Amino acid sequence: MKKFLAVMLAVAMVFCMAACGDKQEANDGSANITDGAGMVFKVGATGPLTGGAAIYGQAVKAGAEIAVEEVNAMGGFQFDFNMQDDAHDAEKAVNAYNDLKDWGMQFMMGTTTSAPGEAVSAEAYADRMFFLTPSASSTDVIKGKDNVFQMCFTDPNQGTGSAQYMYEHNMGTNIGIIYKSDDNYSMGVYNTFKAKAAELKLNVVAEAAFTDATSTDFTVQVKQMQDAGVDLVFLPMYYTPASLIFAQAAATGYTPTWFGIDGMDGILTLEGFDTALAEGVILLTPYSADADSSENKNFVEKYKAKTGELPNQFAADAYDCIYALWKAVDQSGVTADMSSEEICEALVKTFTSMSFNGLTGSNMTWATDGTVSKSPNAMVIKNGAYVGM
Amino acid sequence: MSFLNYLVSGLSLGSIYAIIALGYTMVYGIAKMLNFAHGDVIMIGGYMCFFAVQRFNLPPVLGVIIAMLACTLLGIIIERLAYKPLRSAPSLAVLITAIGVSYFLQNAAQLLWSSNPKVFKSVVGNGVLTIGGEGGLIVSHVALLTVVVCVIIMVGLTLFVNKTKMGKAMRAVSEDKGAAQLMGIDVNRTISITFAIGSGLAAIAGVLLCSAYPTLQPTTGSMPGIKAFTAAVFGGIGSIPGAFLGGILLGVIENLAKAYISTQLSDAIVFGVLIVVLLVKPAGLLGKAVREKV
């Protein structure tokens, strides 16, 4: 019944948005002509701005908007950024994508999350729409699509990276994994981690899963880890369930080493979270809000002023996406009067040959399969702050 | 020992389901409507307590009372604005309205308090009781509190419905609205009071839910709400002891299934059991089969 209503609402919303889109297009068109100076590129994006995953979409939106303001302030060509809500739902994301196309989108800053990303990137591939996602990390998003790129690590990359790190640093005699079995992100990392762990002969002794519907009570999973004598628990998941796992483990006096991935970033800014629970947590992440560069400080300051919160990795990835798109547009010499297909071909060529410095890594390059190469940093949480290892 | 630990955490989870289910079943039993917004009232209760205790540094007891008052008020307002105008409408219209209210509350919470999760500090702290020394049975204070509160509420509600004048009026309205009205019972008032009680219970459930599983976000109430609804159906919707039994069983089955069969399939197992029970006893475990007169 809820689903039916959601679909009805979505249909109603699409009609509303379609109506708005038309109006906006007319406005922008006339503005372009009277303005004359500078080209305006229409950059579309979708992400969950409402619903359970809204935190990620909101972060991407804020991060991208800051970058758009900055690049537009530099003069030169301008970006007109339009982000639509997909509520972390593939069907709604495709509707939003079609809507953005009607609006006149020339290239796309991806979907925020993986499940909608898989659906929309297929459309973008068929339409020859250039597609760069900040954070949809599943390999299915980019697989077989030459015009689809990622700013974030792919999930396999994180899984193998984590196993490799544990192996090299000789961590954990008995390793356990708690993962979310109905989540592409978690499953992607889990599968590759397991494969790599087997290859490196890491001793994985316990595995426990949970789903979206059972993501509050972890007492059983924690107990299973404890009973199996696990001293290192790998947590391929976002920080919200992780915070519950830490609390419930602490309540039973279980204190293994926790090992997280980029989704763990943000746990320290969780309102009301007792950071002592996360003491000693290790995470592999490309971004940390307290990195000491002037670019990052500028970004963190603006982000705080805009949202009142510290940026997480999603926001930083989105910020980098806008700059990478800006650089690619600049280098390829495309113009705003070109069709999205022509822009796509030019950008694909530039993207696979350029190197880019951003908040989430330096000298990033993209392979033709759409994956980014940048190195994750291992961080450990000490006294309520991330510290490089 | 592991088994006992699983059982205890199942009982604690089940008690939370049971408290929520009591709210569902009260409203269904008396107003004959499924208040799908119940789960979201729980979420609002959680936020109220969170703000009172963690932002304004009030003592937890006061936080719970504030949450109860706010939710009771909210329940009355929802009933007055959304459900009362539909008193004589078909039940499907009320059901759809309830879903609408549920969406409204979730999105209003997201606008007001953002979608970022907040960590709720348990109202009784994070203490545990250990029975049988190292490796023994571990019972958290929250789990203990939940079970005790749940039993108190169940007994209190049963007494209220069976012994008081208001309770008698409620049972009368539940049996036959029209006849009750003819006997001089103010049906509208009775239904409003039912909502007020149900929403007050939701606040308690919200505080306990967030104390046991300390994240709070606008969607916090929806999944427990659905599970509790299932529990209410399981035990026989409309029956107060039924909701209690259904909630406890659901929690225990869920946790044991997770522990001994599969952490992934626990929900499938829970709902599988539900289907079997409903096939054998269509009215639920303690439900009364009411024959429709045609």
> Do A166 and A278 belong to one domain?
yes
* Contact status of B110 with chain A (Cβ, < 8 Å): yes
Residue A81 counted as domain residue: yes
Give the count of beta carbons closer than 10 Å to the beta carbon of residue A375.
Answer: 12
Residue A386 counted as domain residue: no
Average pLDDT value over all residues in chain A: 85
Domain residue ranges in chain B: 14-221
- Helix (H) or strand (E) holding A175, with range, is strand A175-180
> Is pLDDT at A147 greater than 50 in this prediction?
yes
Evaluate whether B219 touches B48 at the Cβ level (below 8 Å). no
> Do A196 and A175 belong to one domain?
yes
Between helix B2-31 and helix B141-163 the angle, nearest 10°, is 30
Q: Is the ipTM of this complex over 0.85?
A: no
Q: What is the CATH number of the domain that holds A367?
A: 3.40.50.2300
Q: Report the C-alpha gap between A283 and A260 in whole angstroms.
A: 4
Measuring CA to CA, which residue among A192, A185, A186 is closest to residue A157? A192
User: A223, B5: Cβ pair inside 8 Å?
Assistant: yes
User: A219, B223: Cβ pair inside 8 Å?
Assistant: no
> Do A160 and A149 belong to one domain?
no
Exposed, middle or buried, B293 (CB in 10 Å: 0-12/13-18/19+)?
Answer: exposed
Instruction: Give φ, ψ of A365 to 5 degrees.
Output: -130, 160
| pLDDT tens by residue, B138-184 | 788 888 899 999 999 999 999 999 999 999 999 899 888 889 989 99
Residue A34 counted as domain residue: no
> Is pLDDT at A27 greater than 50 in this prediction?
no
Q: Which of residues 247-286 of B touch A (CB under 8 A)?
A: 254-255, 258-259, 262-264, 266-267
Measuring CA to CA, which residue among B241, B243, B267 is closest to residue B254? B267
Query: Cα distance from A281 to chain B (closest Cα, Å)?
Result: 18
Residue A275 counted as domain residue: yes
Q: Which of A8, A88, A183, A219 to mutate to test the interface with B (most CBs of B within 10 A)?
A: A219
Block residue for tokens 């696979």 = A352
What is the torsional sign of CA A190, A196, A197, A198? positive
> Is pLDDT at A18 greater than 60 in this prediction?
no
Mean pLDDT of A31-47: 70
Minimum-distance CB partner of B263 among A5, A209, A227: A209
Last residue in a domain, options A264, A285, A306: A285
Domain count, chain A: 2
Residue A381 counted as domain residue: no
Last residue in a domain, options A245, A262, A285: A285
pLDDT tier, A26 (very low <50, low <70, confident <90, very high otherwise): very low
Q: Which amino acid is at A266?
A: G
> Do A217 and A269 belong to one domain?
yes
> Do A170 and A227 belong to one domain?
yes
Mean pLDDT of A139-168: 88
Residue A379 counted as domain residue: no
Measured between beta carbons, which residues in chain A are less than 8 angstroms from residue B100?
Answer: 5
User: A224, B259: Cβ pair inside 8 Å?
Assistant: yes
Query: Cα distance from B292 to chain A (closest Cα, Å)?
Result: 25
Ranges of beta strands (E only) in chain B are 118-119, 128-131, 137-140, 215-216
Which tokens sit at B173? 């309205």
Measuring CA to CA, which residue among B123, B95, B104 is closest to residue B27? B95
Size of interface A-B (CB pairs under 8 A): 113
Range of the domain at A203: 156-285
Measuring CA to CA, which residue among A162, A184, A170, A152 is closest to residue A234? A162
| pLDDT tens by residue, B12-65 | 899 999 999 998 888 888 888 888 899 999 999 999 999 999 888 889 899 999
